Homo-oligomer: A and B are copies of this chain.
Amino acid sequence: MYERKIEENLDCGIYLASRVFGGKWKCCILDAINRGIARPVDICSYIPDASKRVIEMQLAELLFYGIIEKSSEDTYPKKSEYSLSIVGKSILPLLAQMDEWGLAHYEFVKERQKELQIS
């Protein structure tokens, strides 16, 4: 986990929420786990754009915050499986709403993005 130099203000609910599941790939990871993709290898192939390392790190963070749970710690060849905790499941409606918003405004945003390319 990173060592912060500037203190955070977690008193704002939105800020706190984005601390917990606002990483670049955390939502995707939660989505994967929710779909039953439980093992790190499989999550990596499910999200090929994310580096293996960042998935490991964000899994560790989500575990730390109690958003996900881990089973079968020390068997070899390691076959860790992750699942959503109760708190983790409480995030799902939010993710769904975010995804819905994003898809609904896909064209709208892409349009602007394109303008950026031209200019």
Q: Which residues of A contact B (CB under 8 A)?
A: 1, 9-10, 12-20, 22, 27-28, 31, 49, 64-66, 87, 90-91, 93-95, 97-106, 108-110, 112-113, 116
Q: Is B105 a contact partner of A16 (Cβ separation < 8 A)?
A: yes
Q: For the complex formed by this chain, how many copies does it contain in all? A: 2
Q: Is the interface of A mostly helix, strand, loop or mixed?
A: helix
Which residue of B has the minimal Cβ distance to A106? B16
User: Taking the nearest CB of chain B, how far is it from the CB of A84, in angstroms?
Assistant: 14
Bound CA–CA A13/B94 (angstroms): 12
Given A9-B49, A14-B27, A22-B18, residue A98 in contact with residue B102 (CB < 8 A): no
Q: List 21 A-B contacts (CB under 8 A).
A: A1-B116, A9-B49, A10-B109, A12-B99, A13-B98, A13-B101, A13-B102, A13-B104, A14-B98, A14-B102, A15-B28, A15-B102, A16-B102, A19-B109, A20-B109, A64-B116, A65-B112, A66-B112, A87-B105, A90-B104, A94-B101
Pick from B12, B100, B108: contact of A28, CB under 8 Å: B12
Q: Is A108 a contact partner of B18 (Cβ separation < 8 A)?
A: no
Bound CA–CA A108/B85 (angstroms): 13
